[in-house]
Amino acid sequence: MATSLSKPRLVTPLLWALLYFASGYISHQLNGPVRITGYIWLPAGVTVAAFMLRPVRQWLPVCVAFLLAQLALSTVEQGNLFNALLFAVDEVGAAALAVWLVQRVRFSLEGLYFLRSVILSGTLAGALGAVGGAAWYALVQGVRFWDVWWVWAASDFVGVVLVTPVLASWSRFRAHRSGDHERFDIVLGIVSFVLLAVLAMLIFDGNSAAKFGIGVGFALTYIPL
């Protein structure tokens, strides 16, 4: 019985680590010409999804799996292992704190309400994680803190928005519509569509880099997806 119970506990962190590794490799292939940080960081969505879909008591082995996955990714790409470990601790810790704070609010996870939690978690995780990364680059390389912070936060936020809902839909999570929420869902859908149209016009008018900066401008192009 003990053996049968231990296997799922080992397999689950391993699967999350594989997702982290694969998404991190893809992110590095998609990144633009920014050397400080990438325009999109898909593992941020993997970490937020893991913490949203797993109970708190199972977070520790998942965190360890993410750290090992980041070290493996840096080894494969011949990166700096020390920096990789620091950034992984920063990113994973920020994601865990963001999800914990959102869960404390006790938002509903039904229908479009789940997306509200995802967006809030992505915003918090990106903002918090970017503080550590930007501070490190400002200290070591002498770059401006806010230049790195904006790109880093946008990269994480986009990764969460793209990846977390997909993983949630593939998991045991089941969204159920409620009759009491039908009117709200319709209004929220209309507002979301209007915001989508406005954002698309602002981002793809050919001048987004001048408005937001080249790094943030590239990252924002993923949001309408």
pLDDT of residue 128: 94
The answer, yes or no, to whether residue 221 has pLDDT greater than 90, is: no
Write the CB contacts of 185 (distance below 8 Å, at least 6 apart in sequence): 111, 112, 177
Q: Give the Cα separation of 29 and 5 in Å (integer).
A: 38
Q: Give the Cα separation of 87 and 66 in Å (integer).
A: 11
pLDDT of residue 194: 82
pLDDT of residue 64: 94
The pLDDT-based confidence of 6 (bands split at 50, 70, 90) is: low
The answer, yes or no, to whether residue 187 has pLDDT greater than 70, is: yes
Q: Which residue has the higher pLDDT, 183 or 32?
A: 183
Instruction: Provide the token pair at 63.
Output: 């965190």
> What are the pLDDT digits (tens) for 65-120?
999 999 999 998 888 888 889 999 999 999 999 999 988 877 666 666 778 888 89
Only one residue has tokens 């704190």, namely 97
Q: Give the Cα separation of 25 and 35 in Å (integer).
A: 16
First to last CA, the chain: 46
Q: What are the boundaries of each domain within the chain?
A: 2-178
Angle at 121 between CA 120 and CA 125, to 5 degrees: 120
Select from 67, 73, 62 the least CA-distant residue to 8. Answer: 62
The pLDDT-based confidence of 29 (bands split at 50, 70, 90) is: confident
Q: Which residue has the higher pLDDT, 131 or 175?
A: 131
pLDDT of residue 40: 82
The answer, yes or no, to whether residue 137 has pLDDT greater than 80, is: yes
Instruction: List the CATH code of the domain at 2-178.
Output: 1.10.1760
Q: Give the Cα separation of 96 and 107 in Å (integer).
A: 16
The answer, yes or no, to whether residue 36 has pLDDT greater than 50, is: no
Whether the CB-CB separation of 210 and 146 falls below 8 Å is answered with no
The answer, yes or no, to whether residue 32 has pLDDT greater than 60, is: no
> What are the pLDDT digits (tens) for 146-172?
888 988 898 899 889 889 888 887 765
